[in-house]
Amino acid sequence: MEFEYNNLDDEWIRKFEDTDKLYNDFYKDDVYYINLRIIYINRDNEIDKIKHESLLTHYPNKISQEQIFEILKKNALEDDRRYSLLSILRYNINLEPNEIKNYLLHGENNKYLSVIKNIDTITYEKTINMFQDLNDLIIIFYEKSTDLKKTESNNSTKKIYLRSLTHKKTIKNRYKD
């Protein structure tokens, strides 16, 4: 008996693929873009301005150190005022598909927020497709002081003279007598 591939019933495969398409939103996928939120706080500790933009990552699930420095440099000056970095926060919603119902009912958002302590590559875990647009990088800037005395004192440089040990002995011997 000869087996014919042309008569093979593959209808079940098509049905499975159609059904599987319904669940595509619940599968985890790489993170390629992140919401970038930049918050500017003035010297009175009030939020001055909030900027929002989408950030396309150079690598899946990662924001490189170079990309972070570029963002910081680009946004440290706003409305002719200088700002210094206060904090970087990462919001990465990395829940599992079986946790969706509990998340929607109880909204445990805090466990997905973390403080970035070092300016280094920031990694994001894979995220369920339907929650991709919830991943954030939040950068908080604080307005620098414009006090002239402070800026002048920070800009001074102390001169340090380096001399060899033999030079010191020579000078010491010269004044010994």
Average pLDDT of the chain, as a whole number: 81
Share of the chain above pLDDT 70, in %: 68
Instruction: Determine phi and psi for 52, rounding to 5 degrees.
Output: -135, 135
**Residue 30 CB neighbours (<10 A):** 14
Q: Per-residue confidence at 99, pLDDT binned at 50, 70, 90?
A: confident
pLDDT for residue 162 is more than 90: no
Predicted confidence (pLDDT) per residue in 15-57, tens digit: 766 665 666 667 889 999 999 999 999 999 999 999 999 999 9
Predicted confidence (pLDDT) per residue in 130-154, tens digit: 889 999 999 999 999 865 445 445 5
Predicted confidence (pLDDT) per residue in 115-127, tens digit: 999 999 999 999 9
Q: Which CATH number applies to 32-145? A: 3.10.20
Domain ranges of the chain: 32-145
Q: Which tokens is 31 given?
A: 């993170």
Model pLDDT, residue 12: 72
Which residues are CB-neighbours of 62 under 8 A, at least 6 positions away?
A: 121, 122, 123, 124
Instruction: Determine phi and psi for 95, rounding to 5 degrees.
Output: -70, 160
The pTM (predicted TM-score) of the whole model is 0.69
Contact 119, 88 (CB under 8 A): yes
Q: Which tokens is 126 given?
A: 């894979």
